[in-house]
Structure 1
């Protein structure tokens, strides 16, 4: 990306040597998940005897129903990119390293929070992945463990993210009951995230759980 490529430089203690941050964006339409979903929907529509006009109308109606969810996803992905290239992720990582031995637990909850905010495990990894690596390096933990913890904890936040709740209420035609769904599943979500956090902490420090960690 012009105006950003190789203009950001990471320096110690974040990295061993000063390293320029590349800003290269590659759009792979054929391998993108959305492309496969769109093609599947179109093919299924024709098999179900829908005409092209009905398919297009249904598409835009669906877009309108989930417009706020889509906007949230786009903005959170943008925030994740901004967090990375502004160095905020490394600043957060250094700050979270101050939690010391409790970091594996709280790092897992960061993944949970990321998915709860963004609605996507991928977006959460983009948002907090750099932070997890920096904090793990500072504490002598495995970056692979904390990266996996970010993703695993994030899965537990999937049930309370706005996008999933909107999709569930829309698919079941239970409109305007998103708050009811959130209140019902919130405790289960945080409880499961805490259990994952405890398991990650044992993997970080307790034998034989630590044998499963790839360094």
Structure 2
């Protein structure tokens, strides 16, 4: 075990490591790409919902188109048969007259059905245009999401690499500090926003940034070198350094 003053100084090294690791962790959680991805993925879900509805509508209209086309074709076929019979001149005059009347009715019915077919085809065209537009927008979103994911992963890799480099020596530094002091430090750190130890610099605690009063300074001067001191204001471990101003 290294000497008490030195292990307290090593505690500042440990705090510096942990502070940087906390910063890197925060940076990882708050990457701009994460917020941008969340926004784009939300938009993508909305488009996906719209696509489901639009594709369903298109399928329904296309079925209407097929039915309308079938209805028109049935009338055309019937009219073609009647016209063939009329052209052949077979049957009585009364029969031929009835066929002529039916052809007139069929022509009127065909016109009506073709109007219906045209209206349905126009709706199908509009529905297909909506689907195509949504698919185009979804494709653009997919490309933007993929690009952002690459940026995010690259940023993660950089932050993780730095965290590994910064955190690598931590076990050795913690060993120099000692289990007892590390345990106290960790407890304080958990309750003090991530800072468990602070240097006393020019009579000021660098944890709470408050200047110590004369009485506290006198107590610190009188304290043994191996005594673990605490800031009276923020209760963090207060580490004496050559710059303490004592």
Pick the TM interval, shorter chain: under 0.3
If asked which structure has higher relative contact order (CA below 8 Å, sep 6+), I would say 2
TM-score when normalising by structure 1: 0.26
TM-score when normalising by structure 2: 0.24
